[in-house]
């Protein structure tokens, strides 16, 4: 018997916390040695994938699980961009004046047909629908059109689904918030620092600040008991003011909403995954937020998946206002086009789609010897210059995974892990 190559060991007092990246198992072992085991311990650890037989090559197991997950139809994800337009003038926005298209109803109907056909053809048990922009609520009529049609569809077919809207939070008035209560929805509302920083970086088109309006809307969202979390987008300037923002949120009891941190990048601020320049900041931010009574959102359960992002599988679709398909929210450019949806809801896929799916981290030397390969799977190609699918994107570091595990333990077993330091 031998320990799994994919074990991450976290010493705690005189004991050991062991997390296995391949199986997702997490155990607490008395003592810091794993080689002095009783027979009952060996059986348990073998069952959890923490100890394996000498003859086992775990890369073979990873290969099967990785490919299985990539083509697993159980749950699908559709990211819909109803508009590239926005009611703000953010200094760091990648879209600027280049993209301003909005989805019309005929295109929405075609996309809805595509979603229905895809879910039924793949016999999926559930799917998620995520709205992104621009500011999705600038085209709120189309958002609600989608929600109503999807509600009818799931009732007729007994399929589970969830909805999320990534928003700047300025357009959620009382009427809209009450209307949203009809749907299984989660709102992700973005802030960029305390009032002075946020208003400078994220003003209305008129130049007026947006911070007060967003806080007002967040309080109403919380009052109406709608699922929501706050995403704090940070850059080097905003980082030093994060504690001031957290204290402001605590003062109005918005620390009762989950929290996440996103990093503003020179590429595109399209997701909340960590990147090289920001990776060292995250543990300190997480610890600071937890100390002030916040719970972390977005995957603060155990970090286990066989893909870095759903959009890197055959079951993640990003759809723009014209019904064009891309591999990522941050790639609305013709040279990254994956396909197009026609008026009947059928999609014609391009060669880009197959190149993206064919990426194999086991063919990347650095990935083959990485202990967190089952979690990272080669990382996001988007952050690599010219999107090199045959290169590793090494920004999801071992210390970040260990920090997330510690956060998980402190949030779910606070009495047992009171002295466990996160960062």
Q: What is the pLDDT of residues 102-146, one digit of tens each?
A: 999 999 999 999 999 999 999 999 999 999 988 999 999 999 999
CA dihedral 388, 389, 395, 399 (to 10 degrees): -150
> What is residue 7's three-state secondary structure?
strand
pLDDT at position 300: 47
Contact 25, 50 (CB under 8 A): yes
pLDDT at position 419: 84
Domain containing residue 207: CATH number: 3.20.20.70
Count of structural domains within the chain = 2
Please report whether residue 150 resides in a domain.
yes
Residue with tokens 């049609």: 149
Q: How far is CA 104 from CA 36, 82, 140, 393, in A?
A: 66, 8, 11, 37
Look at 392 and 151; give whichever has higher pLDDT: 151
Residues 33, 165, single domain; the answer is no
pLDDT at position 124: 94
Residues 143, 250, single domain; the answer is yes
Question: Over 196-260, what HEC string results?
Answer: HHHHHHCCECCCCCCHHHHHHHHHHHHHCCCEEEEEEEECHHHHCCHHHHHHHHHHCCHHHCCEE
**Confidence bin at 217 (pLDDT 50/70/90):** very high
The C-alpha atoms of residue 296 and residue 294 are separated, in whole angstroms, by: 6
pLDDT at position 96: 47
- pLDDT for residue 215 is more than 90: yes
- Find the mean pLDDT for residues 360-383: 88
Q: 20: Cβ–Cβ under 8 A, 6 or more apart, which residues? A: 4, 6, 7, 8, 26, 48, 49, 50
- pLDDT for residue 35 is more than 70: no
Residues 118, 219, single domain; the answer is yes
Question: Percentage of the chain with pLDDT > 70?
Answer: 87
The C-alpha atoms of residue 271 and residue 142 are separated, in whole angstroms, by: 23
- pLDDT for residue 276 is more than 60: no
Q: Which of 285, 304, 293 is nearest to 411 (CA)?
A: 293
- Find the mean pLDDT for residues 156-173: 95
Residues 131, 202, single domain; the answer is yes
- pLDDT for residue 6 is more than 50: yes
- pLDDT for residue 99 is more than 80: no
Q: What is the pLDDT of residues 178-213, one digit of tens each?
A: 999 999 999 999 999 999 999 998 999 999 999 999
* Host domain of residue 33: 2-56
Q: What is the pLDDT of residues 39-70, one digit of tens each?
A: 567 778 888 899 999 999 999 999 999 999 99
Residues 51, 72, single domain; the answer is no
- pLDDT for residue 269 is more than 80: no
Write phi, then psi, for 41 (nearest 5 degrees).
-70, -40
Residues 135, 173, single domain; the answer is yes
Output DSSP code: residue 327: S
Element holding 189 (H helix, E strand)? strand 185-191
Residues 71, 47, single domain; the answer is no
Residues 50, 90, single domain; the answer is no
């Amino acid at each position: 018997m031998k320990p799994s190559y994919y074990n991450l060991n976290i010493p705690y007092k005189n004991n050991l916390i062991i997390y296995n990246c391949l199986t997702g198992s997490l155990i607490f072992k008395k003592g810091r040695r794993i080689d002095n085991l009783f027979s009952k311990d060996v059986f348990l650890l073998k069952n959890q994938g923490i100890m394996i037989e000498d003859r086992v090559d775990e890369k073979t197991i990873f290969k099967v699980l990785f490919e299985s997950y990539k083509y697993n139809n159980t749950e699908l994800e559709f990211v819909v961009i109803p508009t590239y337009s926005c009611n703000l003038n953010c200094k760091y926005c990648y879209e600027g004046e280049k993209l301003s298209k909005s989805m019309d109803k005929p295109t929405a109907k075609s996309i809805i047909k595509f979603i229905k056909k895809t879910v039924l053809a793949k016999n999926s048990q559930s799917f998620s629908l995520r709205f992104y922009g621009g500011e999705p609520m600038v085209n709120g009529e189309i958002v609600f059109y989608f929600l109503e049609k999807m509600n009818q569809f799931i009732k007729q077919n007994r399929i589970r689904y969830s909805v999320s809207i990534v928003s700047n939070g300025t357009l959620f008035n009382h009427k809209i918030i009450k209307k949203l209560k009809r749907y299984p929805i989660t709102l992700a509302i973005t802030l960029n620092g305390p009032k002075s920083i946020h208003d400078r970086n994220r003003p209305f088109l008129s130049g007026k600040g947006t911070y007060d309006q967003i806080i007002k809307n967040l309080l109403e969202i919380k009052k109406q008991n709608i699922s929501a979390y706050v995403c704090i987008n940070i850059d080097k300037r905003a980082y030093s003011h994060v504690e001031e923002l957290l204290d402001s949120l605590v003062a109005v009891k918005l620390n009762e909403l989950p929290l996440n941190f996103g990093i503003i990048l020179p590429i595109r601020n399209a997701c909340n995954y960590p990147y090289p320049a920001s990776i060292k900041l995250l543990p300190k931010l997480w610890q600071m937020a937890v100390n002030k009574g916040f719970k972390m959102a977005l995957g603060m359960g155990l970090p286990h998946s066989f893909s870095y992002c759903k959009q890197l599988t055959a079951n993640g679709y990003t759809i723009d206002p014209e019904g064009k398909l891309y591999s990522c929210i941050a790639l609305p450019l013709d040279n990254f086009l994956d396909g197009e949806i026609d008026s009947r809801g059928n999609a014609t896929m391009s060669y880009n789609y197959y190149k993206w799916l064919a990426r194999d981290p086991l063919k990347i030397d650095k990935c083959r010897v990485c202990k967190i390969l089952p979690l990272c799977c080669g990382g996001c190609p988007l952050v690599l210059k010219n999107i090199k699918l045959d290169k590793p994107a090494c920004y999801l570091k071992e210390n970040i995974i260990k920090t997330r595990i510690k956060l998980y333990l402190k949030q779910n077993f606070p009495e047992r892990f009171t002295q466990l330091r996160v960062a």
